Structure 1
């Protein structure tokens, strides 16, 4: 996913790269979609998936990359916008307009694409591809970007949009928290505690609230370390801690420790990469395009999956063809250029057009 950055001077390319990699992790996690019959996989052998050995962790736990998105968003929003909101220099209406113009255009395009593709799929199959609730009610929820607010009956249309739907709510809470000025950090910790209470029972909202505000606290702590020890000192603190935490997570237990991942490993990873980015401006610039396409690759990969399923079914390939490595390579060979095209020729021009025509009541840039 993509969190909109105001300009190239306010970019941490290290976090851009991380966001882009996280989006691709979700694609690996969703490769199992090709073996669904209805709402669950049938005759599915996870170990036969393409390149399974080197990417086992992604196939088994790639869905948790969404929580990394939330953590990144919290960090970046506290970094870029918290002071502006607290100082009343960023009006609520302009903040909302900027978020909407970044997120909604591609969401609308992919929603319409999935609606059409699911209709075509259901005409030639017994049901929809993976996500079943593709009716008028859920269409309205999706058009309003509300498919994960607790009003839904289940997964619908371009279901990965659920995390963006939760982010819309998080932006509103973030804005209100920051309006409190001096109270923003106590309220941030309170919101984090609320998310911890909700997660994992209320999975969508709980994980969003928990990880977004963990990201905010991570930014606050990193800033304190930078004040005390400078950028070099911050790197010397965060990078070794990050390496130890991830080593403990990966090699210290037979099963993935979700609490360790969300409460320790993700925040330390974000802090370490941000610290490196603050110390060496431009670090990771060459791979910053991965962050540019993260939102597109995240939203486009599911409609592209439907296209692949329809195409290979039409040529009478069995679904076991998706165990073949060449199919995955072909999929990524289409997804990544398509995401680049989307970012350059759809997302950026439409965003620029809408922001240039921002209603006068919302204020100037």
Structure 2
């Protein structure tokens, strides 16, 4: 019998991240290439938030509780993780829009750049240039999937600043309050929101439930119980199936809430208890490694390729075949960017900051050496 895996890396979560990123790609391809609608695919973002809570707790709970990291060092490390690929998506988004728009409209792109460089939302009037079902007033118009990164960064900052106050009771309270907001949002604006200014608050509700859920799942998780199993594949397939399943005959707000409040945390809980078979470890690791790049780069890349195809008369109208052809290009691009840009840049940032990161002594107070309860 294979011994339980107690490594800090969770391969099933890697596979789940890769699958969720591809779900997001197909959600956006629905608008770009007129593919069938994925009715609950937008909830992949909630799955990302929950997995993020678990993974961040796994990586930083003990370091923050022991004083090995203070909140400033922790937050800088999170910026090192998120910013390089975010910047790549931003640069590609600027290039895609500049290619799409006449030079006389480039000032609209420029108006969004300063805030975007700081990972801040923008009010730039670019909403009419995306082939979305509705002309949304996007909070990140240069690369609109980056909207969730703002909430990811907000969660990271709050986690670092208030770590010692995030007791189980506090986390449960935050989840309950956010769950109420999710219920209201589901029956008013819908849970697909948070990407635009009129529905900005929905992003906080989605984050406020899923991220603390991930933190709590880690606290109650027992790593020694993880074992290699084909059930890892079942978990990933189940997650994708939930998001792809056409629930058109069912009351959508209620189904959304069931998936967001119960099913997705349960999937993360199951995923962190098992590992894929050894022969699939590399595939799961690969999908996890490129998932962030896939998420942040696919929209501007797809827009640029589509516009080039139109101008070159290679494509007359959007089609599912175009989307299928584009998928290998997205995988190749994101793998290349991850390997030859993101990883080297993050290593360089860590190397340059090593002295500063090591400069702060560990806290010795007994209160600082305890975990929130």
CA distance in 2, matches of 1:341, 1:364: 34
How many angstroms does 1:251 deviate by?
A: 9.3
Q: Within the alignment, does 1:194 sit opposite 2:177 as a pair?
A: yes
CA–CA distance in structure 2, aligned partners of residues 313 and 280 of structure 1: 44
Choose which of 83, 103, 116 in structure 2 pairs with 1:104.
83
Listed one character per residue, the Cα deviations across residues 285-333 of structure 1 (whole Å, up to 9, x for unaligned) are: 432100000011111101111112211220346663x2242x1222011
Cα distance change of structure 1 residues 282 and 165 upon mapping to structure 2, 3 Å threshold = farther
Note the C-alpha offset of 1:284: 3.4
Offset of residue 143 of structure 1:
1.0
| Equivalent residue runs for 1:192-341 within 5 Å | 192-199=175-182, 200=185, 202-223=201-222, 230=225, 254-256=250-252, 257-277=255-275, 284-316=281-313, 320=317, 322-325=318-321, 327-341=322-336
Q: 1:251 to 1:146 in 2, by over 3 A?
A: closer
What is the match of residue 154 of structure 1?
A: 138
Q: TM-score, with normalisation over the residues of structure 1? A: 0.75
Q: Distance in 2 between matches of 1:220 and 1:207?
A: 20
Which of 160, 168, 174 pairs up with 2:159?
A: 174
Q: Aligned-pair RMSD on alpha carbons?
A: 3.5
The equivalences for 1:353-364 within 5 A come to: 353-358=348-353, 360-363=355-358
Runs of 4+ in structure 1 displaced over 6 angstroms?
Answer: 279-283
**Structure 1 309/231 Cα, relative in aligned 2: closer, same or farther at 3 Å?**
closer
Q: Distance in 2 between matches of 1:353 and 1:101?
A: 10
How far apart, in 1, do the equivalents of 2:207 and 2:120 lie?
Answer: 14
Deviation of 1:112 after TM superposition, in Å, equals: 1.7
Equivalent pair of 2:40/2:256 in contact (CA under 8 Å): no
The number of residues matched between the two structures is: 316
Q: CA deviation at 1:148?
A: 8.0
Deviation (angstroms), 1:62: 1.6
Secondary structure of the residue that 1:222 maps to in structure 2?
coil
Name stretches of at least 5 consecutive residues in structure 2 with no aligned partner. 1-5, 127-136, 186-198, 361-373
CA–CA distance in structure 2, aligned partners of residues 139 and 191 of structure 1: 33
Normalization by structure 2: what TM-score? 0.74
Q: Is the 8 A contact 1:26 1:298 kept in 2?
A: yes
Whole-Å Cα distance in 2 between the matches of residues 61 and 250 of structure 1? 8
Q: Secondary structure at the match of 2:176?
A: helix
Structure 1 stretch displaced more, 204-213 or 152-161: 152-161
Aligned to 2:195: none
Q: Distance in 1 between matches of 2:245 and 2:162?
A: 35
C-alpha separation between the residues in 2 aligned to 1:104 and 1:334?
23
Name the residue aligned to 1:344. Answer: 339
**Does structure 1 conserve the Cα–Cα contact (< 8 Å) formed by 2:96 and 2:304?**
yes
Considering Cα pairs closer than 8 Å and 6+ residues apart, tell me whether 1 or 2 has the greater RCO: 2
Work out whether residues 148 and 166 of structure 1, in 8 Å CA contact, stay in contact via their aligned partners in 2. Answer: no
Indicate the SS of the match to 1:111.
helix
Cα 1:319–1:251 change in 2 (3 A) is closer
Q: Per the alignment, in what secondary structure is the counterpart of residue 81 of structure 1?
A: helix
Contact residue 71 and residue 161 of structure 2 kept, 8 A: no
Tell me, in whole angstroms, the C-alpha distance in 1 between the residues paired with 2:89 and 2:246.
39
1:94 aligns with 2:73: yes
1: CA distance between counterparts of 2:320 and 2:353?
Answer: 48
- The 1:281–1:329 alpha-carbon spacing in structure 2 relative to 1, beyond 3 Å, is closer
Cα distance between partner residues in 2 of 1:67 and 1:354: 29
CA gap of 1:24–1:204, structure 2 versus 1, over 3 A, is same
